[in-house]
Amino acid sequence: MLSTFIRAELSLLSALGYFGVLSMGRIVTIIGTRPEIIKMAPVVKALDALDHDHVLVHSGQHYDLMMDRIFFRDMELREPNYRFELKEQPPHLQVATTMRQVATVAKSADLVIIHGDTNTTVAGALLASKLDRPLAHVEAGIRSFDKSMPEEVNRIIADQLSNLLFAPTPVSRENLQRENVTEGVHVVGNSVIDALLQNLPIAEKRSDVLSRLGLTPGGYMILTFHRSENVDSKERLSRALVAFERAADEAGMPILFPIHPRTAKRLQEFGLEKRADEQASLRRIEPTGYLDMLILEKNAALVMTDSGGLQEESCFFRVPCVTLRENTERPETLEIGSNVLAGTDPERVRDAVRRQLDAERDWLNPYGDGTTGERIAQLVAASLG
């Protein structure tokens, strides 16, 4: 009979890769915002199922930890292995602090995985480069072609530094090709569809948001509005309030507005709070959890947004969308007619609302079949050997 010491030695040698057993790779996935929690949850779950060590890091870019925990709960996503806090730091310090805080975790990674276009994204990309660690970018290749948007610069940097690039659509792959990024590119769909398919049945069972808010399906529009280029300018935010009022008049229904903390803060700073209060058709509520938001989107007559994620989600739900920007990194939605660009000009927004409410809702979802997380996990496993 083998002694306890010999058995322990054999177990150690096996774990280290002797006797034909490969040692595990170490994957470090870095997220930091609520949209990243939503979109990466299916990917994280698929990576967790691999025979590799998977470390999940939350940078704390969205510093409302209570709200973030609600999103983790709604997505049935495990807690991060490491959770940091950035609080209200300016963007350059968010990037620098994230690099400093996550360096110890990432320095031994066999693969660093980032998502999207946030300050956390570019911090993770730069960190992997400086540590000489392989990098994978989920949602690679999307472009607005507007470098005045911080997100666009973050996307470009992340893609240029990545070894594995998970593009959601053929359009995204073509964008990468134009930038001479051709190696390691895979079209995998968008994990937002995985999240919707996995969580909509749960939302329909658990959420009572329509009855709680006294809403009827198809009897309201939903609005999200938070991007810096829209809300950090008093003139643009003031013009948007007029646009919201005219949109509600055109549609003959109220606008439900889960207001982002940034937008609420700017309304107060610019002296526009009273004006927003006076708009009876603009119904402001606190930010909602993910499951409630799914029900609100699915049952809305129309979505108005400056968010990228809602352009994709409304497309899936076949709810027409009006994007309150001058460009979009989701051109597929424009091509199929699920979405139009309107900026914040009141008359343009009114006209766009009229057209979209009359639109045929027969478009096909261009973002995949809900297997993106599994595809990414398979490609990661193949890259690690």
SS (H, E, C) 94-117: HHHHHHHHHHHHHCCCCEEEEECC
Measured CA to CA, the distance from residue 22 to residue 334 in angstroms comes to: 47
DSSP letter for 283, please. E
Measured CA to CA, the distance from residue 381 to residue 46 in angstroms comes to: 11
* Cα end-to-end span (Å), the chain: 35
Q: How many CA atoms lie within 13 A of 380 on its CB side?
A: 35
Closest C-alpha to 327, from 314, 340, 313? 340
User: Is the separation of the CB atoms in 89 and 111 below 8 Å?
Assistant: no
Q: What's the token pair of residue 286?
A: 């606190």
Q: How distant is the alpha carbon of residue 236 from its chain centre? A: 24
* 3-state secondary structure (DSSP) of residue 353: helix
Measured CA to CA, the distance from residue 169 to residue 142 in angstroms comes to: 9
Measured CA to CA, the distance from residue 172 to residue 182 in angstroms comes to: 11
> Which amino acid type is present at position 286?
E
Instruction: Tell me the pairing of strands 221-224 and 164-167.
Output: unpaired
Alpha helix ranges (H) inside 252-345: 261-269, 273-277, 290-298, 308-317, 331-336
Give catalytic residue positions: 226
Whether the CA torsion 190, 173, 52, 121 is positive or negative: it is: negative
